[in-house]
Structure 1
Amino acid sequence: MINRFSFSYFVLSFLTGITTVLAQAPLTIGSDRELFVDRKLIESLDGAQVILHEPVDQGKVLAFDEPWEGAFSAYVTILKDGDLYRAYYRGVPTAGKDGNDSEVTCYAESLDGVRWEKPNLGIHEMAGSRANNVILANAAPVTHNFSPFIDTNPDAPRQQRYKALGGTSSSGLVAFVSEDGIHWQRLQGDPVFTEGVFDSQNVAFWSESERQYVCYFRTWTGGGYSGYRSVSRTTSPDFIHWSEPEAMVFGDTPYEHLYTQQTSPYFRAPHIYLAIGARFMPNRKVIGDEEAKLLGVDPKYYNDCSDVVLMSSRGSNAYERQFMESFIRPGIGLQNWVSRSNYPALNVVQTGAEEMSLYVNQDYAQPSAHLRRYSMRLDGFASLSAGYAGGEMLTKPFVFSGEKLEVNYSTSAAGEIRIELLDAEGNSLPGFSMKETQPLIGNEISRLVYWNKSTDITPLAGKPVRMRVYLKDANLYSFRFH
């Protein structure tokens, strides 16, 4: 006969066993490219570390200098559509209430992401002429923060290939659709979502990994308007009916004001969402009154400062803030330290065989307001790194699919990377040991890993494995089984 104590012990042992099994269950990564923007796969580090890389300032690419644009132009979205780059942004020459009638949505395009032009679209009359780049006017408050995306949902109608959300708390989020990305119309008369603050960019996309539309939008946390500007998330199967919102959580990192979050799938690893957002520091005043006058800054816009931060998510309502440090610091010069400057545009796009670019609003509330380009190597947000003394990373158990292992890496002339494949318990697998791997030396976006002069890892596909990476004066940016 089982007494109460023995029965309780049996249940506890059973549940503990289940928990242990679940904790040790291998991750499934398939043939996805894995980055080091989070620690999803990392079991341990010994002499190695994950470091954040700083984008390179490539200078001004787009001035907000048309009469309908001006010093308060903001909330830029960059889309790469085949060989054409598209930029969408708010134009408004003077400061006013959010969603006022003078706000318009402007458009620019580029063939390389570097040299941009503002086409004369002939859609709306501005300053007595239709020779302008305005795609939406007289549509307040949608034009306050109109944010489009290219719908990659395979079931999306061709006439709705482009979708967008815009609006403030007074209107809710209004859905727009377009076939060509230039001419837009409302998807329906009523807003599609109303449970948020919405007073900055509210971003949406079709998630390949979640098989649904996802929207990240502005909320407050920790006491309403006396708390912190933060982010919530909602999902939809059809872009019309949205779920109850969930507040995003940030692990054990401290709250900071996030004015924009710019969450979107990384184009080379769409299962990873990158949030390259604006960290806002209210009442952190850097420039004085006389300095502001010399710069021509609007008197209301130099009591705060901001910079760019990097977060990531793999779906659900969780961000990982692996790095609290700034991703892009404000540039040299007091003009970079005014309120609401240094706000990043939505999306990272490829602008070369080895290069990607992101864009940042600068000189806000000043006559010199413009968009600036920053470049990075592909996958180069963060890397696994070790110095001359060397270091190692051991991954958690995972299951992959594919025949080869491809890496994006760099070493010094004296450095190297060696990769060993292990079983789930951490035992070296014959034919894939550290001694049998060919050292990786050089600087390549894509290179295959060899063991015993072969790249074939087919016998290990579908089985739980671990990976041990040894680095000496080297960086590993990403890896992928395919």
Structure 2
Amino acid sequence: MSDKKKQAALQIGKRIEMFVDDYLIDRMEKAYLKLTPPEKKEIVLRMEKPWEGPGSGIYSCVFKDKDTFKMYYRGTFDNSSDQSQGQSCCYVESTDGIHWERPELGIHQFDGSSANNIVMLGHIAHNFSPFIDQRPGCAPHEKYKAVAGYAPEGLFAFVSEDGLHFKPFREEPIIRKGAFDSHNLVFWDPNHNCYMCYSRYFASNQEPNIEAPRDSAIFLGVRAIQNCTSNDFENWTKPEPNVYDKGVPLEHFYTNATIPCPGAEHTYLSFPMRFMPERNKVTEHEKVGVSDNVFMSSRDGFKWNRPFLEAWIRPGLDFKNWTQRSLIPAWGILETSPEEFSMYINEHYYWGDSYIRRVTVPRHRFASVHGDYSGAVFTTKPIMVEGDSLFINFATSAPGSVRVGIIDETGWPAAYYSAEDCDVIYGDELDCKVSWRGDSDLTPFAGKVVRLKFELKDADIYALRFGS
């Protein structure tokens, strides 16, 4: 293979590459990309305190700080408007991501008592979104930062030393262009060595089939996601809309929950709540609209791939989830075990029994290349081999199987490493070492460009990596 073609080869090093898009894929025969819905688990937090009315439990943020999982979520005791003073940001913590406790913080008064878990009170708490600043050299008294905002003023910033007592970063907004009445997010991104902000704006309504009640916000356009960056958290670039492939439908994205994937941080994942303002399934409910959520990914945080237009989580049989603003994913992916990612959604929004539920995804299994029982094949683009073994994240049925063949630089199956030479793989493993005639050593291919040919029978390939 020529030097020019070698330069065109993908250089993935020893990264985990998930099959959430076609980045690695060259050809597929009867195989296809398949979205993996999460598994619903237990209810972890019921909105049952006096300061947690029916509008509570949304716009949540979760992350780990040392040995403690932390969650921030919206509380309401007066939800008459987005700028009502009867709103709060509440805090809970956990050691396992399942059992959460409300500490009595003693920071803010509610009904004459400070025995509550409120960290921010007033209209600015409507969508208060904290995060740990991972920027190298970040000052200890600004270890925690947060953003919150509303129209038309803009997005405001806050800092804290302990994640509980926040003060304004500055008096004026850090970003002014946008809608900001939803869940706005900021995090430090080591891929670009800057802060990334994802917030909401209103795109022009170009879809003639989108009809909505005469709501002033809706008639501004379609809710959509914008992004901007900053090197210092104070000076930000002009917000730009997320970019999608041609033909991707324009839908109301109410939130975004954008985050680099743990263990594969070069891939950005986003879980927007998708809103249908014109639908009214439960007519006795006081507010119209239905919602679910979707999944999309990006290699740079700006251009987004949406091969899956279906819902990531459907409302299901529970009629109380067929009303507006349920199923909003929290921002954050917790590694609650070596095999499991935990995420969180709200359910029963604006009913009397609203709550937050945990959902789980096996590690790096957000999507797969799937082949059914009749058999399927897919081949990767040219990849530079760095590492002495190939590992795959896969699952099959009992009669299902996976075989992997190596196509060398000549374009032919490598001797002793063809799919026919591959030891048959079956079962369900997150990190399985591939072998050929009992040998997994790939050092003969180190520094060379190969293609991988996968033969699937009732099987899914979720991710791969080269390693030792």
The reply to whether TM is greater than 0.5 is yes
The counterpart of 1:71, out of the listed 54, 79, 87, is 54
The offset of 1:438, in angstroms, is: 2.1
Structure-1 residue corresponding to 2:69: 85
Alignment-derived partner of residue 207 in structure 1: 189
Per-residue deviation at 1:26? Answer: 1.8
Partner AA of 2:139 in structure 1: P
Counterpart of 2:276, as a letter, is M
Q: How many residues align?
A: 450
What secondary structure sits across from 1:344 in the alignment?
coil
Matching residue of 1:398: 383
Aligned to 1:167, which of 142, 149, 160?
A: 149
Which residue number in structure 1 is paired with residue 328 of structure 2?
343
Deviates more, 1:380-389 or 1:185-194: 185-194
2:79–2:86 contact (8 Å) kept in structure 1: no
Q: Which amino acid aligns with 1:156?
A: C
Deviation, 1:274, is: 0.8
The 5 Å alignment of 1:429-444 reads 429-444=414-429
Alpha-carbon distance in 1 for matches of 2:10, 2:445: 15
| SS of 1:342 mapped into structure 2 | coil
Kindly, what percent of the aligned residue pairs are identical? 39
For the residue of structure 1 that corresponds to 2:259, the secondary structure is strand
Cα displacement (A) at 1:400: 4.4
Q: Secondary structure at the match of 2:320?
A: helix
Partner residue in 2 for 1:480: 465
Q: Measured at CA, do residues 152 and 438 of structure 1 come closer, stay the same or move farther in structure 2, by a change above 3 Å?
A: farther
C-alpha contact 2:258 2:269 (8 A) present in aligned 1? yes
Change (3 A) 1:226 1:196: closer
- Match of 1:335, SS state, is helix
**Equivalent position of 1:261 in the other structure:** 256
Match of 2:436 among 424, 429, 451: 451
Cα distance between partner residues in 2 of 1:425 and 1:181: 57
Note the alpha carbon deviations across 1:278-301, whole angstroms, 9 max, x for none: 000012010123xx3xxxxxx2x2
Q: CA deviation at 1:311?
A: 0.9
Amino acid at match of 2:453: R
The Cα of 1:404 is off from its aligned counterpart by 2.2
CA shift at 1:190, angstroms? 2.5
2:344 to 359, 384, 404: 359
Q: In the alignment, which of 259, 268, 279 is matched to residue 274 of structure 2? A: 279
Report if the CA contact (8 A) 1:436-1:452 is conserved.
yes
Q: 1:242 aligns with which of 236, 240, 243?
A: 236
Q: Which residue of 2 aligns with 1:9?
A: none
Given that residues 90 and 105 in structure 1 are in contact (C-alpha distance below 8 angstroms), is that contact kept between their aligned partners in structure 2? yes
TM-score by length of 1: 0.89
Question: How far apart are residue 254 of structure 1 and its match?
Answer: 0.8
Paired with 2:173 and 2:444, the residues of 1 have a C-alpha distance of 53
Counterpart in 2 of 1:34? Answer: 17
Equivalent residue for 1:132? 116
- Shift of the 342–23 alpha-carbon distance from structure 1 to 2, 3 Å rule, reads farther
CA positional deviation for 1:91: 0.9
For the residues of structure 1 that align with 2:138 and 2:413, how far apart are their CA atoms? Answer: 47
- Superposed structure 1 runs of 4+ greater than 6 Å apart: 21-24
Which deviates the most, 175-184 or 35-44? Answer: 175-184
Q: Kindly name which structure, 1 or 2, has the bigger radius of gyration based on alpha carbons.
A: 1
Q: Secondary structure at the match of 2:11?
A: strand
Q: Indicate if the aligned counterparts of 2:29 and 2:377 stay in contact, CA closer than 8 A.
A: yes
Query: How many angstroms does 1:362 deviate by?
Result: 1.0
CA deviations over 1:310-361 (Å, ceiling 9, x no partner): 1111125221111111110003232111111121111222222322222111
Q: 1:466 to 1:155 in 2, by over 3 A?
A: farther
Report the equivalent of 1:184.
166
**TM-score between the two structures when normalised by the length of structure 2:** 0.91
Unaligned runs of 5+ in 1: 1-20, 293-298
Counterpart CA distance in 2 for 1:158 and 1:381 is 35
Contact kept in structure 1, 2:78 and 2:84, CA below 8 Å: no
**The residue matched to 1:312 in structure 2 has which SS?**
strand
Task: Indicate the larger mover: 195-204 or 380-389.
Answer: 380-389
**Does the 8 A contact of 1:208 with 1:271 survive in 2?**
no
The match for 1:54 is 37
Contact kept, 8 Å, 2:79 with 2:87, in 1: the verdict is: no
Task: Please say if 1:320 is aligned against 2:320.
Answer: no
Cα distance, 1:431 vs structure 2: 4.2
1:76-115 C-alpha deviation (Å, 9 max, x unpaired): 1111234321110111123222232211110011111111
Instruction: Please give the per-residue CA displacement for 1:139-179, whole angstroms capped at 9, x wherever unaligned.
Output: x32x1111122222233233333222111123321222223
3-state SS of paired residue (2:271): strand
What does residue range 367-382 of structure 1 map to in structure 2 within 5 Å?
367-382=352-367
Corresponding residue number in structure 1 for 2:204: 222
When residues 456 and 162 of structure 1 are mapped into structure 2, their CA distance, relative to the original with a 3 A threshold, is farther
Q: Distance in 1 between matches of 2:449 and 2:45?
A: 49
Which piece of structure 1 moves more, 423-432 or 304-313? 423-432
Q: Given residue 380 of structure 2, which amino acid in structure 1 is its aligned partner?
A: T
Aligned partner of residue 304 in structure 2, secondary structure: coil
SS at match of 2:137: coil
State whether residues 60 and 71 of structure 2, in contact with CA within 8 Å, keep that contact through their aligned partners in structure 1. Answer: yes
